[in-house]
């Protein structure tokens, strides 16, 4: 018996979008639709006069329903997977069933639709050439702190998801991790009636939300370390005469003794002393190799 096909079908993120003709036709022809919220999906299908058997598939039943959907596919029937909004399998339990299908040799076909992460990135006004998608930050404090420490050193633009009831905590944690001066684009309610892009620094948005209640789902696009350094650290013209001063040497030695990473030391010392980041980095490396002795 030939196995069925799993279709990942992108649906509108908000109430202003429409499904593509290919998505509509796919949902019209499959044997079963697996939906994160069957009530919401039924409302979407009614707009296109589509009436198909549906089963729920979400974070709370992913294990048992994953096995059930796999059995359906192995029996030769086709299944379309849809999320509440956007592309299934992106920060979504759909990735689990895709993994099962890949292990079982079942074909997976992607029917593209909107993706909140890409929509937020595109409208952010920040560097879109290179980016890293982190989805939702961990809830556990230890894991969260470790990830934030790594993200502080991330050169690429960073894309996060956040819910309105957690946005204040996330902004405060970003600030506490040393990223308060980073530029941030908060894409709120993307593709919906009240879509908004808020472009501030992390600390400025923290201040804004002390007197204003955050509403809607957020895509946070955060300036990467490379862009932040280029914007905040003075870089002298090529060939300019700049020699590390005794103060720069002493400051570098102190920061090394405190255990600060060399890259962060270079940024701070360049910003404070006026030497280039390249020179500050070389100074930090030379002092580190000499056990921090500034002589």
Q: What are the DSSP calls for 226-256, one per residue?
A: HHHHHHHS--PPTT------HHHHHHHHHHH
Q: What architecture is the 5-114 domain classified under in CATH?
A: 3-Layer(aba) Sandwich (3.40)
Token pair 């994160």 is at which residue? Answer: 36
Q: Would you tell me the crossing angle of helices 94-104 and 62-74 to the nearest 10 degrees?
A: 40
What mean pLDDT do residues 248-263 have? Answer: 88
User: What is the Cα–Cα distance from 202 to 245, expressed in whole angstroms?
Assistant: 33
| 258, burial (CB in 10 Å: exposed 0-12, middle 13-18, buried 19+) | exposed
Give the pLDDT of residue 15: 55
Statement: residue 192 has pLDDT above 80 = no
Residue 197 burial class via C-beta count within 10 angstroms: exposed 0-12, middle 13-18, buried 19 and up: middle
Burial of 187 (0-12, 13-18, 19+ CB in 10 A): buried
* Cβ atoms within 10 Å of 15's Cβ, excluding its own: 11
pLDDT for the residue 264: 86
Is there a contact between 216 and 164 (Cβ–Cβ < 8 Å)?
A: yes
C-alpha separations of 94 from 81, 82, 88, 100 in Å = 7, 8, 6, 10
Strands (E) in the chain, as ranges, are 5-9, 32-35, 54-56, 79-82, 107-111, 131-135, 157-162, 183-188, 196-201, 218-222
Main-chain dihedrals φ then ψ at residue 119, nearest 5 degrees? -60, -45
pLDDT at position 136, please? 94
Does residue 210 surpass a pLDDT of 80? Answer: yes
* Mean of pLDDT values over 96-109: 94
> Which residues, 6 or more positions from 25, have their beta carbon under 8 angstroms from its beta carbon?
none
Positive or negative torsion for Cα 103, 106, 112, 116: negative
Please count the CA atoms within 13 angstroms of the CA of 267 that sit on its side-chain side.
15
Say if residue 38's pLDDT is above 60: yes
Domain locations along the chain: 5-114, 117-225, 233-289
Q: What is the pLDDT of residue 244?
A: 62
pLDDT-derived band at 178 (thresholds 50, 70, 90) equals very high
- Give the pair of three-digit tokens for residue 100: 């099962």
State residue 243's pLDDT score.
53
Of 107, 109, 94, 111, which is closest to residue 4 (Cα–Cα)?
A: 107
Contact 83, 117 (CB under 8 A): no
Query: Quick one: CATH architecture of 117-225?
Result: 2-Layer Sandwich (3.30)
When pLDDT is cut at 50, 70 and 90, the band that residue 49 belongs to is very high
């Amino acid at each position: 018996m030939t196995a069925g096909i799993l279709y990942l079908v992108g649906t509108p993120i908000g109430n202003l979008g429409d499904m593509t003709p290919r998505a509509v036709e796919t949902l019209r022809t499959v044997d079963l639709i697996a939906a994160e919220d069957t009530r919401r999906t039924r409302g979407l299908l009614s707009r296109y006069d589509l009436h198909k058997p549906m089963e729920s598939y979400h974070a709370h039943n992913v294990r048992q329903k994953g096995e059930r959907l796999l059995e359906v596919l192995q029996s030769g029937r086709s299944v379309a997977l849809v999320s509440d909004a956007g592309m299934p399998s992106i920060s979504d339990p759909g990735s689990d069933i895709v993994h099962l299908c890949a292990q079982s040799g079942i074909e997976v076909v992607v029917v593209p639709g909107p993706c909140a992460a890409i929509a937020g990135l595109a409208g952010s006004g920040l560097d879109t050439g290179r980016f890293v998608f982190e989805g939702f930050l961990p809830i556990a404090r230890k894991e969260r702190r470790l990830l934030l420490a790594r993200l502080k050193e991330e050169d690429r633009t960073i894309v996060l998801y956040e819910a309105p009831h957690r946005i204040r905590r996330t902004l405060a944690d970003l600030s506490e991790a040393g990223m308060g001066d980073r530029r941030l684009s908060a894409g709120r309610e993307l593709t919906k009636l009240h879509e908004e892009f808020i472009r501030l620094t992390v600390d400025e948005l923290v201040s804004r939300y002390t007197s204003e209640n955050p509403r809607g789902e957020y895509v946070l696009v955060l300036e990467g370390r490379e862009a932040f350094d280029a914007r905040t650290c003075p870089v002298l013209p090529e060939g300019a005469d700049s020699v590390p001063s005794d103060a720069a040497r002493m400051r570098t030695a102190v920061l090394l003794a405190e255990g600060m990473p060399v890259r962060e030391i270079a940024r701070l010392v360049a910003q404070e002393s006026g030497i280039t980041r390249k020179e500050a980095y070389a100074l930090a490396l030379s002092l580190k190799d000499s056990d921090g002795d500034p002589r």
